[in-house]
Structure 1
Amino acid sequence: MDLLRPIAFALATFTAGATQAHVSIQPTTAAPGAYQVLRFGVGHGCSGDATTAVTIRIPPGTLAARPQPKPGWTLEVDREGDVVRAIRWRGGPLPADQFEEFVMLVHLPERAGPLAFPALQTCGARDTLWGEPTPPGGPRPRQPAPVVTLIPAPPPEGGHDHH
């Protein structure tokens, strides 16, 4: 099953409207090339409807992605060869007045900069795509993609060592 098809469909049919949900990411910064646990938080349902699926698109260049199972939810992993393209948790349902975290371990790309993980939140028959890019210095989009910024470690200070 191609998990990216619903994301592509949501992108193609997205219309701006009032939505009352969001998908966040923690941490928001990490080191390039690191193995990092990422937590995707779903703050609440969609306009009163329960969340029944969460799909996270794995950005190109990510070297590995391993989801953490969640009781009451099934896992689907969309692969292209050895590369994970998307991960979907389906089940729950997560009532609209509750929150939940969906966790994965990723091996991040070596390059520095922002890395977006577009998320598709499904509430019954309705999909909400959290995938709009955030322009540098521009206004925050209405439905931003969860983003982790890869920041290289500062170079060691010159001079001598004080041990």
Structure 2
Amino acid sequence: MKRLLLPLAALALAMPAAAHVTIDPPQAVAGGYLRATFRVPHGCDGAATERLVVSFPEGVTIARPMPKPGWRLTITRAPLDPPIDNGHGGQIRERVTSIAWEGGPLPDEQYDEFTVMFRVPGHGGEVLHLPTVQHCSGGATAAWTEVPETGRRATDYRHPAPALRVTPPRIPGSN
């Protein structure tokens, strides 16, 4: 009996770290466009999720959410000074700072996925953190916003921000 309890206790201690909002896929090519899904595995201590807000760090200029039936979308933007070339003969004058889905509700005992397409900034070899706040009924929140300090891992934190490993762009003709 004691042999069975020790592995179960270890599993129970590991579960909170695995039960956070995550991003899929976990890596993307710098400069490319990514269809990313934020997975919400549960509510807030039994309360249903009613709002999810994903924040985008500087460098992300283009982000487009996928609508979800029963959820209302809000896209928050900030001006870019100076504007940047959009690659199609125009300019991007503002960047997306956050996207919020509000509605649902998503019961605590169910999970769901929230999808967005965005251009991945950077040059490769870095990790992009996308702080995400889950708002639940009754005023409860789960802020998945902790960014690991240098030398630490996301598993060292109780509420790590979803993280995306950025890989360098492929050079045509190289393997």
Q: TM-score range by the shorter chain?
A: 0.7 to 0.9
After TM superposition, give the deviation of residue 128 of structure 1 in Å: 1.4
Unaligned runs of 5+ in 2: 1-15, 80-93
User: Of Structure 1 and Structure 2, which has the larger fraction of its residues in helix?
Assistant: 2
- Segments of 4+ moved more than 3 angstroms: 18-21
Which aligned pairs between 1:60-79 and structure 2 lie closer than 5 A? Answer: 60-79=58-77
In the alignment, what sits opposite 1:98?
110
Report the TM-score when normalising by structure 1: 0.79
Aligned mates of 2:106, 2:20 — CA distance in 1:
14
Unaligned runs of 5+ in 1: 1-17, 158-163
Aligned mates of 2:29, 2:46 — CA distance in 1:
37
Let me know the Cα RMSD of the aligned residues: 2.0
After TM superposition, give the deviation of residue 120 of structure 1 in Å: 0.4
After TM superposition, give the deviation of residue 110 of structure 1 in Å: 3.2
Contact 1:20 1:45 in 2 (8 A): no
Which aligned pairs between 1:82-97 and structure 2 lie closer than 5 A? Answer: 82-97=94-109
Deviates more, 1:41-50 or 1:78-87: 78-87
Contact 2:123 2:169 in 1 (8 A): no
Report the TM-score when normalising by structure 2: 0.74
Contact 1:20 1:46 in 2 (8 A): no
Contact 1:25 1:146 in 2 (8 A): yes
Tell whether 2:131 aligns with 1:133: no
Q: Deviations over 1:70-114 (max 9, x none)?
A: 000000011113211100000000000000000000011132210
SS at match of 1:47: coil
